[in-house]
Amino acid sequence: MISLKDVSYSYLPGRNALDRVTLNIGDGELVAIVGENGAGKTTLVKHINGLLKPSEGNVVVCGLDSMSVTVASLARKVGLVFQNPDHQLFAETVEKELSFALVNFGVPPDEIKKRTEWAMSEFELSQYAGRSPFMLSGGERKRLALASVLCYGPEVLILDEPTTGQDNRQKVRMASLLQKLNQQGKTVLVVTHDMEFVSDYIPRVVVMSQGKVIADGPSGEVLVKKDILEKASLVPPQLAEISWELGLDPPSISLDEVVARISRLPGGARP
């Protein structure tokens, strides 16, 4: 369980990056956190992994109060994949990058080999095992950063803009992986501006604006609220826009539902 209660945080006096945020995320949930730049999304997730401590309120993650444990203690529970992989990668080779955390956590060599081989295969990195991470493409480095976190098996996984630089095939693979991890009981948080990815694959969405949570609920309900999306400066999913344009009530982000309802309109066209 992730629990934030009345959490506020300021980088500068008099200006809250988080403003009395209360949020609960259950074990095994798959949740998107969305909002405009500066909404407080990154500040929020840095509280979840302990990189930041609240100015007010409290944060409890996997039974640990963030104020009373070290960042290292939470790091074993919460894996954060940064938006820019260059802020995360540092090892001489891809293989060493994948094994770094495992070595430091004292994982047996046989298990390290098993996990790194799985990660290289799962993320299509096997051919780069002996290559410097900084010789990879941007999309490949992003996959490596995710793979290096998954290798040590945190209970909570946080991904910051995971679809940036990924083509559609990789987005589908990413969605499949996140759903598989979720089915295995992992709690997965995705910070993103990719509203199509959220509408297609993520069941719950938390919308932030100016350091506050302004909406939280099923994606199919939240992402059709025009006022909420406008307040958060978010581009609506295409199906939401189609629903609004056709006057469908209630609007929907389900392709099957939108098509079925259009077919029932007089002449199968716009009313």
Identify whether the C-beta of residue 118 lies closer than 8 Å to the C-beta of residue 146: no
Distances (CA, A) of 80 to 102, 162, 222: 16, 11, 25
Q: Where are the domains of the chain?
A: 1-77+156-164+188-219
User: Could you report the per-residue pLDDT of 127-152, keeping only the tens digit for each?
Assistant: 999 999 999 998 889 889 999 999 99
Taking the C-alpha atoms of residue 170 and residue 181, their distance in angstroms, rounded to an integer, is 16
**CB atoms closer than 10 angstroms to residue 238:** 14
Both tokens of residue 119?
């990660």
pLDDT at 271 over 70: no
Q: pLDDT at position 249, please?
A: 86
Identify whether the C-beta of residue 40 lies closer than 8 Å to the C-beta of residue 21: yes
Both tokens of residue 63?
């039974």
Both tokens of residue 68?
């009373």
Taking the C-alpha atoms of residue 36 and residue 51, their distance in angstroms, rounded to an integer, is 22
| Bridge-based pairing state of the strands 56-61 and 15-25 | unpaired
Of all residues in the chain, what percent carry a pLDDT higher than 70? 98
User: Could you report the per-residue pLDDT of 63-79, keeping only the tens digit for each?
Assistant: 999 999 998 888 889 99
Rounded (5°) CA angle 30-44-2: 50
User: Could you report the per-residue pLDDT of 213-245, keeping only the tens digit for each?
Assistant: 999 999 999 999 999 999 999 999 999 999 999
Identify whether the C-beta of residue 210 lies closer than 8 Å to the C-beta of residue 40: yes
> What average pLDDT does range 239-257 have in this prediction?
90
Angle at which helices 138-150 and 109-122 cross, to 10°: 140
pTM score above 0.95:
no
CATH architecture of the domain formed by 1-77+156-164+188-219: 3-Layer(aba) Sandwich (3.40)
User: Could you report the per-residue pLDDT of 29-43, keeping only the tens digit for each?
Assistant: 999 999 999 999 999
pLDDT at 119 over 60: yes
> What average pLDDT does range 106-125 have in this prediction?
93
> What average pLDDT does range 147-171 have in this prediction?
89
Taking the C-alpha atoms of residue 83 and residue 41, their distance in angstroms, rounded to an integer, is 12
- Got the DSSP string for 182-232? HHTT-EEEEE-S-HHHHHHH-SEEEEEETTEEEEEEEHHHHTT-HHHHHHT
Strand partners, 80: 158
> What average pLDDT does range 44-69 have in this prediction?
94
Distances (CA, A) of 153 to 187, 202, 257, 263: 11, 21, 37, 46
